[in-house]
Amino acid sequence: MVRVALVGLGGFGAVHLAELDRLAGLGKVELVGCADTVPPAPAAAEVLERRRSVFHERYEELLEATRPDLAVVATPPHLHAEMAASALRGGSHVLLEKPPVVDMAEMRVLEELLSETGLYCQVGFQSLGSGALGRLRELRRAGAFGDELRVSATGHWQRDSCYWQRSAWAGRDKLDGRAVHDGALANPFAHAVMSCLAVLGWESLDGFDEVVVERFRANPIEVDDTSVLRVRHAAAELVVAVTLCAETVREPVCTVRGTLGSAVWGYTGDEVALDLAGRGASVERLARAGLLEEIVDVLSGEDRELSCPLVRTRGFVRLVEAITAAPVREIARSRIAVEGSPAAASRVVTGVDEIVDAAASRGVLLSELGL
């Protein structure tokens, strides 16, 4: 039985709490305690009571009082490094939500602690647990896509004013003097960046041949809501083009394209559509490992690898540094329409869906499209 503590119960913490409740039901974990600065919502309070789990307002007290085997950290990004470091120093393994840290300096602190203690840190990039990723990597390594490899991702989401107002850190670059970096590429579409890196096998790289970023905003926020990232390295290209101001909402997609064929993976799922020279078109459905259950199983002695150990997010954090160094420009008001009720209004950018698709499929920046 792995003793687990959860830090951050609201927002995405509710997903971890539900999973911990399920794993406790299977007899795999004991939920020894939780911490949040605000009292648990009724649904969370019910789970805590049923699992006889103690609630603390301060996470330090939770870690001190329970000394868990595993600490799950689902708090805002600017708190991750401090909380993960504290858990590791206390002897706990960590499951850390994405983005794991805000820069390489924080990354190095956690890496040193991991190497000193021999503890594990799994990062919550769920798509890395997908068998679809393993299949794409295998095909890439076998040369099935040919040359001139481009791995791209597109994201067309809409986020309304409630989303930007839900937490003090939402839409902020800095909060109380600390870096938060809640931009479209660094946070909501972090999975898009990470999935592309992982397909290319670039996830642990320390540097890339060329990184260019263009960031824009239509919302009254400090960060970007519409952006393009292009990375060139070792004769391949990674492009992520995303918007949170879409005209039509679509699930994000990762596309692999080379001289011999292509693959399309909706990375929130596990289905891959392949179209390869000599093999024709096919659709494959693969399995997915849940990242929390996976680390619990490893701590229980099962012989399996973690899908997303911290070291696999090095390339991502390097890119976050490049992304957050790029200026954010305002989109012209004439291109912005406001949809929905005044209480939950969404800003929609005219023509943005087509622009995002063109950038990703052609590997071009918005400035190169004449915008």
- Applying CB under 6 A, the residues found at the interface with ligand NAD are 7-13, 35-38, 59, 74-77, 79, 97-98, 124, 126, 166-167, 187
Residue 190 Cβ, how far from ligand NAD at the closest point, in Å? 7
Comparison of 6 and 245: residue with beta carbon closer to ligand NAD: 6
Residue 117 Cβ, how far from ligand NAD at the closest point, in Å? 22
Pairing of strands 174-175, 178-179: antiparallel
Where would I find the beta strands (DSSP E) of 245-308? 245-258, 261-265, 271-276, 280-285
Residue 80 Cβ, how far from ligand NAD at the closest point, in Å? 7
99: preceding bond cis by omega (within 30 degrees)? yes
Comparison of 59 and 145: residue with beta carbon closer to ligand NAD: 59
CB atoms within 10 A of CB 140: 19
Minimal CA–CA distance to 91: which of 67, 74, 115? 67
Residue 110 Cβ, how far from ligand NAD at the closest point, in Å? 15
Minimal CA–CA distance to 317: which of 203, 183, 154? 203
Comparison of 238 and 320: residue with beta carbon closer to ligand NAD: 320
Comparison of 150 and 215: residue with beta carbon closer to ligand NAD: 215
Residue nearest to ligand NAD (CB): 11
Comparison of 120 and 189: residue with beta carbon closer to ligand NAD: 189
Give pairs for 186-190: CB < 8 Å, separation 24+.
186/99, 186/223, 186/320, 186/323, 186/324, 187/77, 187/99, 188/155, 188/157, 188/159, 188/242, 188/244, 189/153, 189/155, 189/157, 189/240, 189/242, 189/252, 190/98, 190/99, 190/125, 190/316
Comparison of 144 and 196: residue with beta carbon closer to ligand NAD: 196
Comparison of 35 and 319: residue with beta carbon closer to ligand NAD: 35
The CA distance from 144 to 371, in Å, is: 35
Residue 184 Cβ, how far from ligand NAD at the closest point, in Å? 12
Comparison of 163 and 208: residue with beta carbon closer to ligand NAD: 163
Residue 303 Cβ, how far from ligand NAD at the closest point, in Å? 26
Q: What share of the chain is helix, strand, coil (3-state, %, to 5)?
A: 35, 30, 35
Comparison of 34 and 274: residue with beta carbon closer to ligand NAD: 34
The gap between the terminal CA atoms of the chain, to the nearest Å, is 56
Residue 84 Cβ, how far from ligand NAD at the closest point, in Å? 11
Residue 62 Cβ, how far from ligand NAD at the closest point, in Å? 8
Pairing of strands 70-73, 93-96: parallel
Residue 27 Cβ, how far from ligand NAD at the closest point, in Å? 25
Torsion-angle region of residue 201: left (phi > 0), alpha (psi -120 to 50) or beta? Answer: left
Please provide the DSSP assignment of 104-172 as one string.
Answer: HHHHHHHHHHHHHH---EEE--GGGGBHHHHHHHHHHHTTTT-SS-EEEEEEEEE-BHHHHHSSTTTT-
